[in-house]
Every structure is written in C-alpha cells, then in structure tokens.
Chain A
Amino acid sequence: MDILLQQIINGLVQGSIYALVALGYTMVYGIMGLINFAHGEVVMIGTLVSITVAGSLIEAGMPVSLAGMAGLSASVLACMALGWGLERIAYRPLRNAPRLTPLITAIGMSIVLQNLAMMIWGRNYLTFPSFLPKIDFELAGANFTAIQVIIVVVSATTMGGLLLLVYRTKLGMAMRATAQNPAVASLMGVNINRVIAAAFVIGSALGALAGVMVGSYYEIAHYQMGFMLGLKAFTAAVLGGIGNLAGAMLGGVLLGIIEALGAGYIGDLTGGFLGSNYQDIFAFVVLIVVLMFKPSGLFGEKTGDRA
C-alpha cells in the first residue's frame, strides 16, 4: 500500500512539472494556434540562467535563500526577454504564412537555442545549488521532500493565477478575443501584436519558473534537458486538450501518474513479460486512446479549424 502511495506522489510531482511546462505550450496555442516547440528550450535556458546567477551570488557570499530568489527573478526576466525575442524574430514575420512554416521555424529555434546554450554553458552537466533545506517527510511509509510539495503548490497556484488573468482581466479578454478571431479583434481596437507578445512573455516566464523547479528538484541541468521535457509537456497539453489551461494542468498530472504507475506495475500486470522499459508506452497508449475517441483532448473545446 505504501508503494502505491509513493508511486502516486512520484507521479503527482512529475506531473506537476509537466503541467507547468504544458501551460506555456497551451497558452501560445490557445491564442495563435501555433505549437511553440522551442518552449522546452526556454525552460532549459531558465534553469541554466538561474544556476549561473544563483551560483555566482552564493559564491560571492550571499545567503542561499536570497541568492535563490535572485536566481529565480533573473531567470524569469531572461526568459521573458527570450520569449519576446522569439516571437518578434521567428514567428511574427510568419504570422500570415502557411501553418507548417512557423512550426518548422519553431523546431529550428529549438535547435538554435540548444546549440547556443551548449556554447555558453558547455557540454558538462551542471549541478543546481540547493536553495531549500533538505526536509524529508514521511507519510504512511511514503517519503517526500519539501521541494516536491513546493512544486505541486506552485504549479496549482500558477494555473489558478493564469485562469484569473485570462478570465478576469482586460488583457485576458483581449487574449480571448484574439484567439477567437484575430482580424475582428484588431478591428475592435485590440492590438494583437501586443497581445500575442504578451502571451509569449507570460508563457516564457512560466517556463522559467518550471525550469527553476525542475532544476531544484533534480539538482542537475544540461543544455539538452529541455527537449524530452518539452515533448512530454506537449503530450500532456494535447492529452488535456491543447489550448485549455485547466486541461494542461490535469493532463500533466494525469500523464505523470500514469507514467509512475505504469513503471511500477507493468511488470506485475504482465507477469514479467513487459518491464519498466515500456513505461512510456502507458502514457502514449492513453494519449492515442484519448485522441481516437476525443480528438480535442480531455477538456478541449471543439475548434475544428485548428489542427
């Protein structure tokens, strides 16, 4: 029983990380129907910037918690600038191009950012300074740490905050209007360039936050860490219904828990025929089934014109 609980905790934490990254994907997609494949790399840059800033401040003698906050702010600012730049350089000129073009640009930007990071931070693995005191909790035989609790809380509050932003503010209204019909929205006086830039900036800030969370959880970072994370988060966003904020959150958590349970029980379920090397299969089988019966994802609205 304690094993089941432990696996669910593992999955919940992993899933919250996916969710936090998925929010960035879904936000951009919801507004302009573009899958920003470079988002995983934004997360990676967020992690690496916070390592550099916090690491050098700690070395300079600053208290760890303060340096951690400085690292977080620096990475959020850097990623906001990066998100804005990405949109300005890579996507805005292609706004009226066929849908495939910005998708290819996105993949291109992802490769560019990866190699840029490799040139700046090198090929070695970097260790993340531990910001938080190592507190271990034990609950009914399951172990978890302070950072795991923080990850779950942060991603839940972030999603709540985003929902408020989208449904309760003027910027949110402009975003929803742009999502529905950019041409009409601009006729109504919405500056869609600014709205789209805002979506990228906010999405990237979330990416930075996710990056810092991932970094402080695993305490390791690398210039290629964003790729797999981005892919999984993208899957989570599709699972929950891409474009839907609550869907991204639930999709992420669901994906995390399915993965953990899959890895933990696949061997017993199949009598040893399949091992934990098939753990990804669980997540993707669920994804395929959902897409077969509900192509818009679990919580997606029917938007037939957006592929």
Chain B
Amino acid sequence: MRAKPSLVALSVAAAFALSACGQHDDAPKSVAAPGTPVAKPEIVVKLGHVAPMTGPQAHLGKDNENGAVLAIEELNAKGMEIGGAKVKFELLAEDDAADPKQGAIVAQKLVDAKVNGVIGHLNSGTTIPASKLYADAGIPQISGSATNPKYTQQGFATAFRVMANDVQQGKSLGEFAVKQGIKTVAIVDDRTAYGQGLADEFRKAVEAAGLKVVATEYTTDKATDFKAILTKIKSTKAELVFFGGMDAQGGPLAKQMKELGIKAKFLGGDGVCTPEFMKLGGEATEGQYCSLPGMPLEKLAKGPAFREKFTKKFGGEIQLYAPYVYDAVMVMADSMKRADSVEPAKFLPAIGKTKYDGVTALIEFDQFGDLKGGAISIYQYKGGKLEYVETLGGSPVDLAQGDAKTDVKEMEKVGADAVKNVAEATKAAVEKK
C-alpha cells in the first residue's frame, strides 16, 4: 500500500532535483504543486537552516528556526517569480547541537542535498568550520547570529552575516564600561569561538582605555556551577565582571555572584541579552547591562510589526536572533530575485551588492561579507524587561583585517559613506517613531 505513493514522491523529488540543475523548463508542471494547478513552471528552492535544536542552547536554536520559517512562509505566500518560473521555497532545518563537529556533519549533509543557500549557523563555533564546506561547494551562507570576526575573515566569497561582529561589539562594551567609571574588571568566557572572541575584543578595548583586568577566568558552555571561579574573582575585588557567553550560563553566574556577596556589576554581550537570562538570573540581574548588535526592535520602523507577527504565529516571545535570521532569508531571496536565478553561482555576486531594507537594519555588506556600519545598543535589565539605554558605534567595520582583498582603499571610502547613510537612515527612522 505504502510503496506506491512513496515511489511517486521519490520521482517528484528527483524531478525537483533535476529542475534545480537548471532544466526547470521541462519540470513536470502538474505534479509540482498538488492542489494548485499552475500554468507556469514551478521551481523549488531549498534553503538549509542550521542551529542547535538540542542541547543547552536549543531554545535559541528554535527561535532562529522560527525566524526562518516565518520568512519562508511569507515568501511562499507572496509568490515570487524568478527566471520566469514560480518559486517555492523549502526549508531544510538541521540540528548542530552547538557542537562544531556536528556542525560540519550537517553542513556536509546540506551540501550533499544540493541546497541553494544556507541560513546559519547560530554559533560562531559551528559556523566557522562549516563555512569552509559551503565555500568549497560554492553555496552562499548568511548567518543571522555568528558574530565572531573570524567567520568572514577566512576569505570565503560565500560567507555573509547580517549582524555586527564582535570586534564592533567588544569595542562598544569596552567603551560603555569606561563610561561607567569602572577601574578594574574581571573577564569570564565560556571558551567557545563566540565567548572567547567577544571577551578578547572587550579586553582590548578596556586595556586600551587604561582599565585594569584583574582576573581572567574560564568556564564552559555546559557549566552550571561558577562558585569556584567567582570566589577567585571576589578576592580580586573587581568592580565589574564581564561575561562572554550565552544566557544559560550567564543567568546562573549572575545569581551565584549575588550568593557569594560579590558587589561587582555584571556586563555581557548579545548572548545574555535575552528574557531567558533574566528568568535564570532572577533578581541578581536587576540593574545590570548587556549589549545587542543593531537597534532595538521598538526603535526600528518594521520592528513592532515583526514582533506582532512572530508572537501571533508562534505564541511566544522572540528570544534573540529570530529577526536577524528572518532578514537573512529575505536577503537571500532578494539576491535571487535581483540575479534572476536561483543558482548559487549566479546569485552569489548579487548578495554582495545587497541593499535590502530589512527588519533589523538597512542591510549592505562590505567586501568581507560583514554587515556595514553595524550599530551596537546597550540595554539594562529592569523589572524583568530589557530597557534600551543607548546606541554606540555604528562605526565602519574594522578594515585592518588579515587577508584584505584588492580594492580595500576604495571600499573604505564607499563603506564610510554607506555608514553615514545608514546612520542617517536609522536616525530618521527613530524620529519617525
């Protein structure tokens, strides 16, 4: 009984695979979209999405996936036409468990499945090794949340991100600490590519400003007990504890600081700027600060509408990166439309030329694939809510990067102009609100 329909499904899948190879004109039209007999040929665009769906960061992974699902549903509802054919987007969601090894395995799986593009991964630690596989296969990759600078510094033409990187974020956090009149800081990181990278950039920024780093301690992205390292930090009497890592560790860390009678302030990056952090840290988080790349959703023209759509569809709050992932999908689709092709080799150059007015920012990429002029906003945890404090930076992406390509000088100028434009655009958007 079951054998027959699955055979049909298989042949349909095979037909899709063929059509993706560029022979879409011959694709069987009637089977392509059951229920909606269309006159035009339809092509299926497979987008891979990778984030941890199991493990300690599964809640963030699901949030990312929801962002992608929302974007894909909207694209399909809108009905895009590329190269004269109707396009149907399909999401291949994979789980990398925030583990670099598994990240590479699922990346290979997506490459073998011949996806047209990849959205993700969530973590820098998984994104960096996976990006090589995508680059070798020529598959464009846009991450909505991997902020480690190394991701785009490897010289891969396929690697993009729609979020400010940690060079910008670490610098802004450092500036903020200096502004708070802090003299001595302790730094804790979780030894992941993200946590370590952010902590290193923060250290550079505060040391350059003459602050003293009195303790450097480490934990892991699976730890629950931080008392041993916190006791050591207590003995140094640091005025501020900076944490490079995610909310699942940051929350308990803040709580245990309080239990040990540590009076120091807590400061963290985007990984702890979540509702989950406050839930886990309880009252210990009250009055502390964290940062997020970009501007707060409320201050963006399309922000509140996105939040409403999201909560209506998934019945829960946005955890963290969902809007960025949503934008990443939209940028990918937008590039396909501009290139009028769904073939990676053809629409990849178009991604670099993106100028897309997304939910999170006016998205443009520099020559490395980094978001141009990413701003960093500081938030304070207040009464169980994240309260916007100020936006720092919006400075041009650090161009003193290792493997710079040829036209850096020229790009620098263009980049600076673009940054000015973005700054003005965001300012205008804020005022409009």
Contacts and interface: CB of A to CB of B under 8 A. Distances in A.
A118 B59 CA distance: 11
Contact of A275 (B216, B280, B282): B216
Nearest to A126: B279
Interface in B198-246: 216-220, 222, 224-225, 227-229, 231-232, 234-235
A226 to B, nearest CB: 11
A143 B219 contact: no
Given A143-B259, A276-B219, A10 B248 contact: no
A222 B260 CA distance: 24
A7 B219 contact: no
Contacts of A124: 58-59, 276
Nearest to A118: B54
Given A3-B234, A125-B59, A277-B218, A263 B280 contact: no
Contacts of A260: 227-228, 231
Interface in B270-328: 276, 279-280, 282
Given A222-B248, A277-B218, A123 B227 contact: no
Interface in A1-46: 3, 6-7, 10-11, 13-14
A186 to B, nearest CB: 42
Which 6 A-B pairs give the minimum distances between C-beta atoms?
A123-B58, A277-B218, A263-B228, A10-B227, A260-B228, A124-B59
B62 interface: yes
A102 to B, nearest CB: 25
Contact of A224 (B55, B218, B255): B55
A259 interface: yes
B268 interface: no
Nearest to B54: A118
B212 to A, nearest CB: 15
Nearest to B196: A277
B261 A127 contact: no
Contacts of B56: 222, 224
Interface string B59-84: 10110000000000000000000000
Contacts of B282: 127, 219
Interface in A216-242: 218-220, 222, 224-225, 228
Range of interface residues on chain A?
A: 20 to 34
A136 interface: yes
A216 B347 CA distance: 53
Contact of B279 (A6, A125, A264): A125
B251 A263 contact: no
B191 interface: yes
B224 A6 contact: no
A118 to B, nearest CB: 7
B59 A259 contact: no
A218 B225 contact: yes
A125 B56 CA distance: 8
Given A220-B251, A275-B217, A276-B217, A118 B58 contact: yes
A180 interface: no
Contacts of B231: 3, 6-7, 10, 260, 264
Given A123-B58, A220-B280, A224-B55, A143 B261 contact: yes
Nearest to A280: B220
Given A14-B225, A228-B222, 16 more contacts: A13-B227, A124-B59, A125-B59, A125-B248, A143-B259, A145-B259, A218-B252, A219-B282, A224-B56, A224-B222, A261-B228, A264-B229, A264-B232, A276-B219, A276-B228, A277-B219
Contact of A136 (B54, B219, B224, B259): B259
Contact of B252 (A123, A220, A228): A220
Interface string A260-274: 111110010000000
A136 B225 contact: no
Contact of A3 (B191, B224, B232): B232
Interface string A127-154: 1000000001010000101000000000
B53 interface: yes
B260 A6 contact: yes
A178 interface: no
A279 interface: yes
A211 to B, nearest CB: 13
29 contacts: A3-B232, A3-B235, A6-B260, A123-B53, A123-B58, A124-B276, A125-B276, A125-B280, A136-B259, A136-B261, A138-B261, A143-B259, A219-B252, A219-B255, A219-B282, A220-B224, A220-B280, A224-B54, A228-B222, A259-B228, A260-B227, A260-B228, A261-B228, A263-B228, A264-B228, A264-B229, A276-B217, A276-B232, A277-B220
A243 to B, nearest CB: 27
Interface string A153-175: 00000000000000000000000
A143 B257 CA distance: 11
Contacts of A3: 231-232, 234-235
Contacts of A225: 224
Nearest to B217: A276
Interface string B360-387: 0000000000000000000000000000
A14 B280 contact: no
Nearest to A218: B224
B94 to A, nearest CB: 16
Nearest to A6: B231
B58 to A, nearest CB: 3
A6 to B, nearest CB: 5
Contacts of B61: 123
Contacts of B55: 224
B219 to A, nearest CB: 7
